[in-house]
């Protein structure tokens, strides 16, 4: 059967996950049902457990696809399902609403689409304008009612993470914030400044999204925007474009050079750098087919030599101060 994904604990909580997660942002739009099903089968067969989704992904279709798989493709108890709340569609536009009513409406909708009584990790998708105590009270209710086992946040910067965690710790009985997920890769290292130190201080897990720099670190954009890539689509061009500038190209070339020397692919180098970076629990992989998952499974037995990891640190923004602690 080959290599299998290992496990990691989510901070100081009792939740454990595979050390890679399966992201579903493209499900129901760029990733069709049969490809999503094949991805999940291969992921679970390889020991993967964490699947991250959200009501905003495909306007609920990602959750529906996963929910349908519980009928015949995979056992619910074999997975750690993480979903989110707080992004809603109003008059065709996506807005952030972190009020108690909006969050709990999202959660109930997620449970219905996922065809399950609970989610393992429920996350506030973004910092909103509702009073923070109201937002966090919704998390408490989700846990005490049994609709969520654990709660976390997503896209919170350092001070927001610390504020939410401190509030939950202030009174016994509140549900602790166990994790945060923000973008983190060799092209996006801002999390090292405040987010990762905050997570370490509060004993929280970290789920990096877009660990391959929105696909750019695979090297596929080195000579242009290939047909069929996210960068070539009207709905995802904006997502890829920020990393097609000269500084990013220099990082991509360094990754490609390291890959050549190590007998790895650029995608594997970029992934392993994130997976093994200090404070990381599980990178979220947005693969669109089972075949795209294979290189990361093969990388389970791979590590970067310390001098290569540090060289990539240097070329992508400077030393990672936590690496030698």
Q: Average pLDDT in the 167-181 region?
A: 97
57 is catalytic: yes
Per-residue pLDDT at 320 exceeds 70: yes
Our separate counts of H helices and E strands in the chain read 11, 12
CA 18 vs CA 208, 253, 273: distances in Å = 14, 30, 17
Q: What is the mean pLDDT of the chain?
A: 94
Task: Say how far apart CA 124 and CA 152 lie, in whole Å.
Answer: 7
| Domain 7-213+281-306 belongs in CATH node 3.40.120.10 | no
Which residues, including other chains, have CB under 8 Å from residue 90's CB and lie 6 or more apart?
Answer: none
Per-residue pLDDT at 234 exceeds 80: no
Per-residue pLDDT at 61 exceeds 80: yes
Per-residue pLDDT at 1 exceeds 60: no
Label residue 223 by pLDDT band (50, 70, 90): confident
Q: What is the pLDDT of residues 299-310, one digit of tens each?
A: 999 999 999 999
Q: What is the percent of the chain where pLDDT is above 90?
A: 88
Locate the DSSP E strands across the chain. Answer: 7-9, 16-18, 21-23, 50-52, 80-85, 87-90, 93-96, 119-124, 148-154, 177-181, 205-206, 284-285
Which residue shows structure tokens 């952030």? 96
Q: Average pLDDT in the 15-28 region?
A: 96
Per-residue pLDDT at 42 exceeds 80: yes
Q: What is the pLDDT of residue 238?
A: 79
Is pTM beyond 0.85 here? yes
């Amino acid at each position: 059967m080959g290599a299998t994904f290992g496990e990691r604990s989510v901070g100081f909580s009792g939740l454990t996950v595979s050390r890679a997660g399966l992201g579903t942002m493209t499900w129901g739009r760029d990733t069709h049902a049969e490809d999503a099903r094949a991805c999940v089968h291969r992921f679970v067969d390889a020991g993967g457990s964490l699947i991250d989704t959200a009501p905003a992904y495909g306007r609920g279709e990602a959750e529906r696809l996963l929910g349908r798989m519980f009928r015949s493709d995979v056992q619910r108890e074999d997975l750690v399902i993480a979903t989110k709340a707080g992004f809603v569609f109003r008059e065709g536009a996506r807005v952030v609403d972190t009020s108690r009513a909006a969050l709990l409406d999202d959660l109930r909708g997620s449970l219905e689409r996922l065809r399950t009584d609970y989610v393992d990790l429920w996350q506030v998708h973004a910092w909103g304008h509702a009073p923070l105590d109201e937002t966090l009270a919704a998390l408490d209710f989700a846990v005490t009612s049994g609709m969520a086992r654990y709660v976390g946040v997503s896209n919170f910067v350092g001070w927001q993470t610390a504020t939410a965690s401190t509030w939950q710790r202030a009174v016994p009985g509140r549900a602790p914030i166990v994790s945060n997920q923000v973008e983190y890769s060799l092209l996006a290292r801002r999390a090292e400044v405040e987010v990762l130190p905050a997570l370490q201080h509060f004993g929280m897990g970290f789920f990096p999204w877009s660990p391959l720099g929105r696909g750019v670190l695979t090297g596929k954009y080195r000579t242009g925007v290939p047909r069929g890539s996210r960068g070539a689509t009207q709905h995802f061009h904006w997502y890829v474009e920020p990393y097609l500038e000269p500084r990013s190209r220099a990082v991509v070339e360094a990754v490609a050079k390291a890959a050549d020397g190590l007998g790895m692919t650029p995608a594997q180098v970029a992934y392993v750098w994130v997976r093994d970076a200090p404070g990381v629990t599980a990178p979220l992989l947005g693969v669109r087919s089972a075949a795209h998952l294979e290189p990361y499974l093969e990388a389970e037995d791979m590590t970067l030599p310390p001098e290569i990891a540090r060289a990539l640190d240097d070329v992508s923004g400077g030393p990672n101060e936590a690496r030698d602690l």
